A and B are shown apart, each in its own frame.
Chain A
Amino acid sequence: MSGSSSLPIPMSSLDLASQPTQPFALEMRQISKSFGPTQVLRDVDFQLRAGEVHAVMGENGAGKSTLMKIAAGLIEEFDGQILVRGHPVHLTSPRDATRAGIAMIHQELSLVPELGVDENIFLGQEKLQSLFFVDRKSQVKAAEEVLKTLDFHGPLQLPVSKLRVGEQQLVEIAKALVSKARILIMDEATSALSINETERLFYVIRRLAAEGVAIVYISHRMEEVSALAHTVTVLRDGRHIGTVPAKGANRKDLIRMMVGREIQEMLAQDKSMTTTAKPMLEVRNLSLEHPTPTPSRPRLVQDISFTVGAGEVFGLGGLLGAGRTEIIQVLYGLHPGTSEGEIFVEGEPVQILSPLQAKAHGLALVTEDRKRDGLVLGAGIDRNISLPVMRTLTQLGIVLPGREKALARSMIEKLNIHARDSGQPTGSLSGGNQQKVVVAKCLVTKPKVFLLDEPTRGIDVGAKAEIYRLIRDLADQGLAMVLVSSELPELMLLSDRIMVLREGRPTALLDRAEFSQETILEYASPGGAVQPEFLTLEAAL
């Protein structure tokens, strides 16, 4: 396996021939690591050159994050050797890594929300005035300089919580640059970014690479990797599978390397049903108050009307902040008092003011953030699955453990959840399996309407395919689905119809024949087109 990695790495877009003796910016040799009985890395080799964008790909649990955490000094104990610019180093704390010029930007950003931009950038390395007092002025000045190079123009003394996610990410990068990082590790950097923000981030990454910063880019998204990276390293089951130049690496090959088995190109799947039997969910004039209304957007969501038939997957498209998630939240009773509109389930008007009522009327929600909203991470799979239907598993308030276990086991089998046993804490499962537990939690309530908010965020290709199949199967069984996804290919693959939103208002309702990335983006972007029927609504207001 080390044989494959010691092949010469052709650098298509980098001219490193002029400096052949230059050592690798970062070299990791024979890295192995176990967490308890499970070995997550086996003799992995990894080489990173200065000025290179090096993508690391692999399914969840392949070990990519662990490998990079070792490089960032977040994991103390491991076997193997790390060399920075040819010198062996011992990285046992983030501090060591910072001193060696390595910075890592995590999927979940690690900024202090209430501190200002400059304070965050200089956190732990404050510029001091006379030993004790922070010299805010020169901090702001220095921060400004760094941020200018990142194309960030905004007030610097605002608390970062007031910034958009994309801007916060730039602040993280600035923080790394200020600490003189020459090796930048980015973990799933774009998972929370809109299309525009992603573009800007890419621009920054390319510029940094051109300046000689070595960048490791961990991602699930094939499109991003081919757009950005010079080199791709694929890990699978903790092993180094191969390192190839990004140019010329084709999508199918990469997927095969990651998954290790032939899977049908998932995007080629087609689906049969488009005719809808009977309406399961109908929504009329749904709206939600804006906490801080502006003239251009008086309400967070408004004029939303649609019908979803049994067996139909209804997609909600739009940019981040267009109000897709909010619609789903209103349907699930999470905004009582601030939302208006009529909801019908199977033709019956219903009032949904709490998740309990939503559940009682046959709605189920797969949340966007499974760790925050979906799972009790410290509790076992069985405990999580039984939670929504606890009262059906009890006799006089006492839980019948046999019934609980049986329910969990049937779900584990049905959804093919990989676990040691039904009591394994959900926090120790991989992302894909966690997501399956979230789906299982919904299924046990025997829902009629399934609300899916980013059902495949941050899970690997193999698990994605399984979730897709599951969604199709459930639709075929007559459930109505409302799907929100930021990944357009996914949205188009799964949906029968897509409603496109822009700033809280619908701009188009597309049938399957009309689906294309360009069309959806056109209707989603500010200033873009609006379908006539929605135009009149907007004009009337």
Chain B
Amino acid sequence: MNRAAGSVGGFLLKTKLFWGLAVLYGAGIILSPVNRRGENIFLDPGNQSDVLRQVANNGIIAVGMTLVILTGGIDLSVGSMMSLGCMLCAMLLTLPGWTTASTSSIPILGVVAVLLCSYLVPLVATNVRRGSAKPVEQATSRIRLIGLVVGLVVGALLVWWMTTQLPSKFGVLGVLITVPAVGLALGAFNGLVIAKGKLQPFIVTLAMMVAIVGLARLLGGETAAVYPVYTGSNATENFEMLRTLVLHVIPVPGIFFLVAILIFGFVLKYSAFGRYIYAIGGNEHAARLAGIQVDQIKVAVYAISGMLASLAGVLYTSQYRQGKPDAGAGGELDAIAAVVIGGTNLMGGKGTMTGTFVGVLIFGFLTNILLLKNINSNIQFVLKGAIILAAVLLQEGQVGLWWKRFRARTKKVSTGESRRDEVLQDHR
């Protein structure tokens, strides 16, 4: 009986995050205003799909942030990375020919393709033959050469393809490949400096955050700070694709978000790469001594974070029909908040992608409810801050401890407070 109660309590405690989301959702239904036809606005499919659209950008960034935080690091440059992605995307879509955007991003795309292939091909090749208990063999120089050749071919093809698009401006596929590649490169640079320079991730990414905002502004030039994107007139029609609703309810950015959650959730939970991420966050020394290439993993994690952030930039451009150099301002903090609400420990080594998913949704629904209730936007900030604090306190289990301590203290007063004072007096 008692044990059953305990296990139920344990289950509730384990899934408290979901209960939090459920309570918030319930509150949303109850607090929601009702429209003229007597329908609950909060539950309206249009509203629900809006929430998914609104959380998509923050969610995609939070996915990368989860990986980074799990290694015990932090990535403050994602907001700026999103701004840069947004600007790049808008410029590539609306300006034909060799502009600052295309001259900077196409070569980067080529280099990223070459490096990525010459890293991934040997990795896959040595992994296909695995599964035996044989000690890990290093990739032979032949496999490495094949990787390099594949990389050069892929890189050349991509660069050629993008260049042919230049006279008539980029299409949707073009920006979806080029922009994340730039983010990947910048993220990898973050990781390289952190891993090889043995610097604090906070400082490195803070510096990058400042620098990348500058880059995004430089890119646009002095004259036009904001690039409007009118699909069908100054940009290609097919970019509209990113604004559509699949099955009339699911917005495309939401699909990007869900797919990112699924892919990286799977990677975290089931792949060797995921295990290494947890191990590095749990104890970097031990991971290094176990022969894990800690530096490589770190570079990969920051690269993924940068890639996802600039992808969020592309989605921003599609939603707001403009490229803005401050599109992602503050985005890093929202993402960190969502990850932390999701129960991921900022020290690293503890946390899940499911948690981040719920954290992002909690954040999104909260914003939505406050909007529907027409609450002053400044009060919204205060409320959000309070909710973050409360969520984290609950996550860390401190509140339960306070309660226990409080009970212990109140119990004591009756029995021995006076005698204790006596002894202490005696000692002075």
Q: Say whether B127 faces chain A, with CB atoms less than 8 Å apart.
A: yes
B127 touches A87 (CB 8 A): no
Q: Say whether B133 faces chain A, with CB atoms less than 8 Å apart.
A: yes
Q: Say whether A377 faces chain B, with CB atoms less than 8 Å apart.
A: yes
Residue of A nearest to B270 (CB): A398
Residue of A nearest to B137 (CB): A360
Interface residues on B, range: 35 or more
B349 touches A376 (CB 8 A): yes
Number of A-B contacts (CB under 8 A): 138
B286 touches A89 (CB 8 A): no
Most buried by A among B128, B134, B420: B420
Interface string of B132-160 (1 = CB under 8 A from A): 11111010000000000000000000000
One of A382-390, A413-421, A461-469, A487-495 contacting the partner: A382-390
A395 touches B422 (CB 8 A): no
**Residues of B contacting A441 in the complex (Cβ-Cβ under 8 angstroms):** 290
Q: Say whether B15 faces chain A, with CB atoms less than 8 Å apart.
A: no
Chain B's nearest CB lies how many Å from the CB of A327? 16
In the bound assembly, the distance between CA atoms of A88 and B404 in angstroms comes to: 22
B285 touches A373 (CB 8 A): yes
Q: Say whether A215 faces chain B, with CB atoms less than 8 Å apart.
A: no
Q: Say whether A90 faces chain B, with CB atoms less than 8 Å apart.
A: yes
**Residues of B contacting A253 in the complex (Cβ-Cβ under 8 angstroms):** none
Identify B349's interface contact among A100, A359, A378, CB under 8 A.
A378
One of B165-173, B181-189, B271-279, B382-390 contacting the partner: B271-279
**Residues of B contacting A395 in the complex (Cβ-Cβ under 8 angstroms):** 127, 130-131
**Residues of B contacting A354 in the complex (Cβ-Cβ under 8 angstroms):** 291
**Residues of B contacting A393 in the complex (Cβ-Cβ under 8 angstroms):** 272
In the bound assembly, the distance between CA atoms of A15 and B138 in angstroms comes to: 71
Chain A's nearest CB lies how many Å from the CB of B127? 6
In the bound assembly, the distance between CA atoms of A387 and B134 in angstroms comes to: 15
Q: A85-B426, A88-B416, A397-B273 are in contact. Are A391 and B136 (CB under 8 A)?
A: yes
Q: Say whether B412 faces chain A, with CB atoms less than 8 Å apart.
A: yes
In the bound assembly, the distance between CA atoms of A503 and B422 in angstroms comes to: 55
Chain B's nearest CB lies how many Å from the CB of A198? 27
Identify A397's interface contact among B272, B288, B349, CB under 8 A.
B272
A window 461-518: CB within 8 A of B: none
**Residues of A contacting B419 in the complex (Cβ-Cβ under 8 angstroms):** 87-89
Interface string of B394-426 (1 = CB under 8 A from A): 000000000011001100100010011011101
B416 touches A399 (CB 8 A): no
Q: A391-B127, A395-B130 are in contact. Are A99 and B285 (CB under 8 A)?
A: no
B427 touches A99 (CB 8 A): yes
**Residues of A contacting B134 in the complex (Cβ-Cβ under 8 angstroms):** 392
In the bound assembly, the distance between CA atoms of A313 and B134 in angstroms comes to: 26
**Residues of A contacting B135 in the complex (Cβ-Cβ under 8 angstroms):** 359-360, 392, 445-446
A100 touches B278 (CB 8 A): no
Identify A76's interface contact among B275, B278, B408, CB under 8 A.
B408
**Residues of A contacting B217 in the complex (Cβ-Cβ under 8 angstroms):** none
Q: Say whether B292 faces chain A, with CB atoms less than 8 Å apart.
A: yes
Residue of A nearest to B427 (CB): A101
Q: A76-B408, A355-B291, A359-B291 are in contact. Are A390 and B282 (CB under 8 A)?
A: no
A396 touches B127 (CB 8 A): yes
Residue of A nearest to B407 (CB): A77
Q: A374-B286, A378-B282 are in contact. Are A358 and B291 (CB under 8 A)?
A: yes
**Residues of B contacting A355 in the complex (Cβ-Cβ under 8 angstroms):** 288-291
Identify B272's interface contact among A84, A92, A359, A391, CB under 8 A.
A391
Q: Say whether B350 faces chain A, with CB atoms less than 8 Å apart.
A: yes
In the bound assembly, the distance between CA atoms of A329 and B292 in angstroms comes to: 16
Chain A's nearest CB lies how many Å from the CB of B416? 6
The interface on chain A, measured as residues whose beta carbon lies within 8 A of the other chain's beta carbons, has a size of: 52
Q: Say whether B287 faces chain A, with CB atoms less than 8 Å apart.
A: yes
Q: Say whether A394 faces chain B, with CB atoms less than 8 Å apart.
A: yes
In the bound assembly, the distance between CA atoms of A426 and B77 in angstroms comes to: 35
A77 touches B272 (CB 8 A): no
Q: Say whether A169 faces chain B, with CB atoms less than 8 Å apart.
A: no
In the bound assembly, the distance between CA atoms of A376 and B283 in angstroms comes to: 5
B window 83-130: CB within 8 A of A: 124, 127-128, 130
In the bound assembly, the distance between CA atoms of A356 and B349 in angstroms comes to: 22
In the bound assembly, the distance between CA atoms of A77 and B289 in angstroms comes to: 39
Q: Say whether B293 faces chain A, with CB atoms less than 8 Å apart.
A: yes
Q: A87-B426, A88-B419, A376-B286 are in contact. Are A76 and B130 (CB under 8 A)?
A: no
In the bound assembly, the distance between CA atoms of A162 and B71 in angstroms comes to: 31
Residue of A nearest to B412 (CB): A90
B136 touches A87 (CB 8 A): no
Residue of B nearest to A182 (CB): B427
B427 touches A399 (CB 8 A): no
Q: Say whether A375 faces chain B, with CB atoms less than 8 Å apart.
A: yes
In the bound assembly, the distance between CA atoms of A100 and B416 in angstroms comes to: 15
B271 touches A99 (CB 8 A): no
**Residues of B contacting A373 in the complex (Cβ-Cβ under 8 angstroms):** 283, 285-286, 289
A77 touches B404 (CB 8 A): yes
Q: Say whether A273 faces chain B, with CB atoms less than 8 Å apart.
A: no
In the bound assembly, the distance between CA atoms of A426 and B424 in angstroms comes to: 40
**Residues of A contacting B287 in the complex (Cβ-Cβ under 8 angstroms):** 376, 387
B288 touches A379 (CB 8 A): no
Q: A376-B282, A378-B350 are in contact. Are A76 and B405 (CB under 8 A)?
A: yes
**Residues of B contacting A384 in the complex (Cβ-Cβ under 8 angstroms):** 286
B423 touches A87 (CB 8 A): yes
B136 touches A85 (CB 8 A): no
Other contacts beyond A360-B138, A391-B136: 14, CB < 8 A = A87-B422, A88-B416, A88-B420, A88-B423, A90-B412, A360-B135, A367-B289, A372-B283, A374-B289, A377-B282, A394-B131, A395-B130, A398-B272, A445-B135
Can you give 10 A-B contacts (C-beta < 8 A)? A87-B423, A92-B412, A99-B427, A100-B424, A372-B283, A372-B285, A377-B283, A389-B133, A391-B272, A394-B131
**The 6 A-B residue pairs with the shortest CB-CB distance in the complex, in nearest-first order:** A376-B282, A87-B423, A359-B291, A388-B290, A356-B291, A387-B290
Where the two chains meet, the residues of B that have a C-beta atom closer than 8 Å to any C-beta of A are: 124, 127-128, 130-136, 138, 270-273, 275-276, 278-279, 282-283, 285-293, 349-350, 404-405, 408-409, 412, 416, 419-420, 422-424, 426-427
Where the two chains meet, the residues of A that have a C-beta atom closer than 8 Å to any C-beta of B are: 76-77, 84-85, 87-90, 92, 96, 99-101, 180, 332, 354-356, 358-360, 365, 367, 372-379, 383-384, 386-401, 441, 445-446
